[in-house]
Amino acid sequence: MRILACLALALALAVPLRADEPPPTEHRTIRVKPTATLSVNHVPEGRSDLFQIDLPTGKPALLRVSEPGYVTQWRTITPSPSDSSTIEIALERAPIPVLFRGEVPAVVLCDGAERGTVPCHLFFNEPRAYRITFRAEGFLERTLRLDLSDGKPKVVDAALTSSTATLDLASEPAGATVLLDGVPQGQTPLTLRKIRPGKHEVTFSQSGYRTLTHALTLDAGQEATLSLPLERLPAGLTVTTLPIGARVYVDGVFRGESDLTLKDLPAGTHTIRVERYGYAQAERTVTVGAGESRAEEFRLSIIRGTLAVQTQPGAVEVWEGEERLLTTKPGKDGYTSQLATVQLPPGKHTLTLKAYGYADLTKTVDITAAQTLTLREKLTFKPNLTLTTKDGKTYSGVLVKYGGDGTVSLELKPGMTRTFTPAEAPTYDKGALQRALEAWGAQH
C-alpha cells in the first residue's frame, strides 16, 4: 500500500498545469540611474528611474537600459524565488563626439591642452562648456566657447582668418606693370598674396597710357579686387595748309582753321579733311600713337568758276550769306550795270541781290569749275515813302534827298526824280520818313 501511495503521489506531481493557468513569476524591482528607458526582452517598459515588473520564474530575461548621452547597458537575469533583491543599473555617460572641420590644418587646444589637428574627431567625457582655440601659422588665432552641456554631438567649423591680405589686380588693357608700395610685382592680371594689413599704394603703368596710382587699406584676411581702366595718352597733330586759313575737320568734326595744333587727339587712326573757299577739298588718313606728335601739310589746289553779273539798276550788291561778293557799277546808260565778275568754288550758291530802293532778289546759281556763268537780273522798284501835297495829290517813291528846310526829293520811278519844296506843303508819315532816312543813310 505504501508503494501504491508513493506512485499515486508521483503521478499527481507529474500532472502538467492547465493551459489557462499563468506561469509562475517573480516580482522584481529595478532601479536605474539616471532616469532612462527600460525594455525587457525587447519590449519597452517606459522611462523612469524605478521599475516594478514581474518576470517569468526561472527564465532568462534580457534587460536594456538606454538614455541619450549615456552608454546603453545590457543585462541578463534569471528570476528565482530565492532572490528578491533590487536590481541596480547605473548608466555611464557616453563620450560626446565633436567633429572639427576646416581647410586649414590648425592645432586644436581644449582648455589650453593640445588635442589634435583639424580635421579631427575628438571625444569629451563631461557635458559642460569648453574653451577651444585654433592655431595655424599665417592665420589669426581663434578662440571659441564650445557648449556640450546638452551632451549632443557637435560639428565645429574651424575656419581661420589669414593674418595677411590677398589682392587680385586687373587692368584694361591687360599687361600693365604693377608696383605695390613702389616695389615691382609683375603684370596684370595678377594676384598678390601675404600682404601685410594696412595702407598701401598700387601703381599701374603701361606704355602709351597714363600712370595710375591707387591708395587702399587692406585688413587681415581680406580678399580684395582692384580693376582699373587705363587712360590712353593723347596724341598731338599739327595741320598746316598752303594757303593758310583752311577749315580743318578731324573725323568729320570741325576743330579750327589752319595752321592748327591739336594736343588732345586720341591715339589711333584719324581722317583729316581741310576746306577753303575757292580751293579743292583735301583729305587723308593719318595714324598717331599715344603720346606721339605728328605734323601734316596740305597744299590746296585752286578750283573755281566765274560768275558774271549784270543788273538793273546799275549799282547792286551781290551777297552770299553774310559775305558781299561784288557790287555792280552803272554802265553808259546809267541804269544798266557793267558786267562784274567773281571767282566762286564749283557747286550751288544762293545769292542775294540788294539795291537801295529795290526789293531784294534771291537767286541760286550752279558754278562749274573753269567756266563762266552770266547772271542778268532786273530788280523790282520798291518805293519807301508816300507824301501828299497841299493840292491833294499823292506821290510814292524812293527817298533820295531830304533837306532841313523840309525839301523832299523822291525817285518816282527808275531814273525819274522830283523834288517837293515846302511851298507845296508835302505831308507824310513821320515813321515812314525815319525808316527811309535810315535806309538811305545805310546805303550812302
pLDDT of residue 83: 85
pTM tops 0.85: no
The residues, any chain, with a CB within 8 Å of residue 303's CB and separated by 6 or more, are 278, 279, 280, 345, 346, 369
Q: How confident is the model at residue 8 (pLDDT cuts 50, 70, 90)?
A: very low
CATH topology of domain 235-296: Immunoglobulin-like (2.60.40)
Spatial contact of 41 and 55, defined as CB atoms under 8 Å apart: no
| String of DSSP letters for 117-164 | ESSEEEEESSSSEEEEEEE-TTB--EEEEEE-TT---EEEE----BSS
Q: Residue 217: pLDDT above 90?
A: yes
pLDDT in tens, 40-86: 999 999 999 999 999 999 899 999 999 888 889 999 999 998 888 89
For the ranges 20-24, 179-183, 186-190, 228-232, the lowest mean pLDDT is seen at: 20-24
Distance of alpha carbon 357 from alpha carbon 299, whole angstroms = 45
pLDDT in tens, 147-204: 998 888 999 999 998 888 999 999 999 999 999 999 999 999 999 998 999 999 999 9
d(CA 122, CA 104) in angstroms, rounded, equals 17
Percent with pLDDT over 90 in the chain = 66
> Which band of pLDDT confidence, cut at 50, 70 and 90, is reported for residue 20?
low
- Coil vs helix vs strand at 7: helix
Name the least confident of 21-25, 49-53, 316-320, 401-405: 21-25
Q: Are 28 and 89 in contact (CB under 8 A)?
A: no
Cell 554631438, residue located:
153
Cβ count near 284 (within 10 Å): 11
Whole-number pLDDT of residue 3: 46
Mean pLDDT of 410-438: 89
Three cell numbers written together for 140: 589669426
Q: Give the pLDDT confidence score for residue 370 in this predicted structure.
A: 80
pLDDT at 239: 94
CATH number at 305-378: 2.60.40.3070
The confidence score (pLDDT) of residue 124 equals 92
Residue with cell 497841299: 390
- Whether 10 shows a pLDDT value over 60: the answer reads no
Find where cell 550769306 sits.
321
213, 203, 115: which is closest to 156 by C-alpha?
Answer: 115
| pLDDT tens-digit map of 276-321 | 877 888 999 999 888 888 999 999 988 888 999 999 999 999 999 9
Residue range(s) occupied by CATH 2.60.40.3070 in the chain: 305-378
Can you name the CATH fold of 25-90?
Immunoglobulin-like (2.60.40)
Q: What is the pLDDT of residues 171-181, one digit of tens each?
A: 999 999 999 99
Q: In this predicted structure, what is the pLDDT of residue 368?
A: 87
Q: How confident is the model at residue 432 (pLDDT cuts 50, 70, 90)?
A: confident
Residue 4 pLDDT > 50, yes or no? no
Percent of the chain past pLDDT 70, that is, above it, reads 95
Contacts of 272 (CB under 8 A, 6+ apart): 237, 239, 248, 249, 250, 283, 284, 285, 286, 296
Q: How confident is the model at residue 444 (pLDDT cuts 50, 70, 90)?
A: low
Which residue type occupies 50? L
Q: What is the pLDDT of residue 345?
A: 84
Q: What is the mean pLDDT of the chain?
A: 89
d(C-alpha 124, C-alpha 98), whole Å: 8
Which pLDDT score is estimated for 304? 83
Location of each CATH 2.60.40.10 domain in the chain: 165-229
- Which residues are bridge partners to 408 per DSSP? 402, 420
Contact 364, 352 (CB under 8 A): no
Q: Tell the CATH superfamily of the 165-229 domain.
A: Immunoglobulins (2.60.40.10)
Query: Could you tell me if residue 325 is left (phi over 0), alpha (psi between -120 and 50 degrees) or otherwise beta?
Result: alpha
pLDDT at 22 > cutoff 80: no
CATH 2.60.40.1120 residue window(s) in the chain: 25-90, 235-296
User: pLDDT (tens digit, 9 = 90+) per residue, 235-290?
Assistant: 889 999 999 999 999 999 999 999 999 988 888 899 999 998 778 889 999 998 88
Per the listing, cell 513821320 goes with 430
DSSP 258: S
Q: For 416, phi and psi rounded to 5 degrees?
A: -120, 110
Residue 2 has pLDDT above 70, yes or no: no
